[in-house]
Amino acid sequence: MNNKEVSINKVDELVNRAQLAINDWQCSGDVDYVHKAYANLQQAAIRLTLSRQAAKPKKSELMYSVIGDTLAADYENLDLYDTPEEALKEAKDFLKAGDIVTVLEMAESGWQPYICIDSLLEEFQDQAFTEGGEASEPWSDFIASKAMTAAADELEDELNNVLKRWLEKYQVEAGWYKETGKEYRYSFDGIDFIRL
């Protein structure tokens, strides 16, 4: 049995458990069975999403896109291509002899969200003020004090470690590409491209 079959079997098992829990709820009226059904369906949905992501062909690390001042106004293709040649081929129909275009090298973004403890503590202070008004000021002063600096740094590290594990677990990635700074300029002679 391959990984795909194992994953499908696990999803089937989770859906079956959810169906049994719904049946139990219908017979007993006990709300806990609805929560069990929901939890099983949620896990099944997560497994299906992850298996679909794993099945998608991974784009190469570097991709290429074409830009140029001389491209026709109706050329709005911002797609990414595996090679500079593929990107140029797509732009060819929108060029005339003498046009110059630039192929941009793009790399997948490694960006991940980050929890800033200063912003988070400010949010907590706002919440405290909303809840307690001026009576919350001693609590807010203590949270923002120099005595709590090391504790705040510790909290920031721990929260970001939890966030990182959560992002990895659910394979949450930026998914976009950004310019690397490398550019390749080409002149179009009406038939072929000449690298400048």
Mean pLDDT, the chain, integer: 84
DSSP 83-116: SHHHHHHHHGGG--TT-EEEEEEEEE--------
Banded pLDDT at 74 (limits 50, 70, 90): very low
pLDDT at 90: 85
Q: How many residues does the chain have?
A: 196
188: Cβ–Cβ under 8 A, 6 or more apart, which residues? 92, 95, 96, 97, 98, 99, 100, 101, 194
Please say if the pLDDT value at position 57 is more than 80. Answer: no
Find the range with the poorest average confidence among 59-63, 114-118, 192-196: 59-63
* Percent of the chain with pLDDT strictly greater than 70: 84
Q: What is the average per-residue pLDDT within 110-121?
A: 93
149's tokens = 């600096």
Banded pLDDT at 48 (limits 50, 70, 90): confident
Cβ-contact 164, 112 below 8 angstroms: yes
Banded pLDDT at 73 (limits 50, 70, 90): very low
Banded pLDDT at 56 (limits 50, 70, 90): low
Beta bridge partners of 107: 62, 178
pTM for the whole thing? 0.53
pLDDT at 7: 62
Find the range with the poorest average confidence among 1-5, 6-10, 90-94, 132-136: 1-5
142's tokens = 């203590």
